[in-house]
Amino acid sequence: MKLYYAKSPLMSCDIYPMQYGEQQCDNGYSFGPAVRNFYLIHYVYSGKGELHINNKTYKIHAGQFFLIYPKQTAYYKADDNNPWLYRWIEFDGSFSEKLMSVTGFSQENHVINDDNGVGSALKNIIDLGWTDYELIMIHFWSFIATLTKGKLLKKDENTAETYVSNAKNYIRSNIHKQITVSEIALFLNIDRSHLTRIFKNICGISTQQFIITLKMDIASQSLKKSSMTIKEVACSVGYDNQMEFTKLFKKHFQTTPTQWREKDGFEQSVNHYEPKQ
């Protein structure tokens, strides 16, 4: 068995891999019943076996892959005479549920036939072994693109949810700059007031507040996990004026950047904000 964990401080709140690996199972090898905390996909490359989930039994063979949802009890077993070789990837993030619905998985359908090279895309990740997280993400997104067959881009291109999602992506990509709501609206080719309205409706906060909160959360992590000066941290999230940055930081966390750097309980404090998707 090979097993690798994906570790990085650069985790996205949308989707990210947790672990990946491969196993040539022995005759009759089984796992479970067990409950997974995250999304887990197994791809069968050779042999066969069966999956027991939601009071259903799936007979699975090479060229198929199956999904186990978080908090779902599952049991799977290799064939007694022709055990499977499978590779797997476990992932999580707020984007995961939508991703799975696009692929065709559901609580009633846990198995899909591969007709688009998903197996090759997953093998490319496992073949990386231990490597830089950024490289893992390159191959992980390639895997997702293969898995969805471009359906994510084709589906609901002009819905409010898509506009908000693209706005968030723009903000994250330009977090090191000064960002205005007007330039985001211009990028999306929609009216500024329309963006403001749908963003507040979907996220529960204004676009400007999302920008500030994200900048402050990134800055707070940089203060704890790097040796950058406060001025450098401020510049890294788009604030040339250190005094302005300090004022906003204190308003957000009720403490100054210097005090924050020395503060205990960092991990508990920084997780106070969970943007709605």
SS3 for 199-227 is HHHHHCCCHHHHHHHHHHHHHHHHHHHCC
Residues 42-61 have pLDDT tens digits of 999 999 999 999 889 999 99
Residue 3 has pLDDT above 70, yes or no: no
pLDDT score recorded for residue 223: 87
Q: Determine the 3-state secondary structure of 51 from DSSP.
A: strand
pLDDT score recorded for residue 268: 35
Q: What percent of the chain has pLDDT over 70?
A: 87
Q: Measure the CA dihedral 209/197/181/224, to 10°.
A: 20
- Residue 199 CA, distance from chain mean position: 21
Rounded (10°) angle between helices 96-103 and 133-148: 40
Q: Choose from 14-18, 177-181, 262-266, 273-277 the range with maximum mean pLDDT.
A: 177-181
Distances (CA, A) of 275 to 187, 208, 217: 22, 13, 12
242 token code pair: 């250190």
User: Is residue 28 a contact partner of residue 6, using CB atoms and an 8 Å limit?
Assistant: no
The beta strands (E) that lie in 93-143 are given as 111-113
pLDDT score recorded for residue 162: 82
Element spanning 56, H or E:
strand 56-61
Residues 129-180 have pLDDT tens digits of 888 888 888 898 889 888 887 665 554 556 888 888 888 888 988 888 899 9
pLDDT score recorded for residue 158: 61
Tell me the C-alpha distance between 24 and 29, whole Å: 10
pLDDT score recorded for residue 93: 79
User: Is residue 90 a contact partner of residue 19, using CB atoms and an 8 Å limit?
Assistant: yes
Q: Which of 65, 82, 83 is nearest to 123 (CA)?
A: 65
User: Is residue 188 a contact partner of residue 166, using CB atoms and an 8 Å limit?
Assistant: yes
Tell me the C-alpha distance between 23 and 45, whole Å: 10
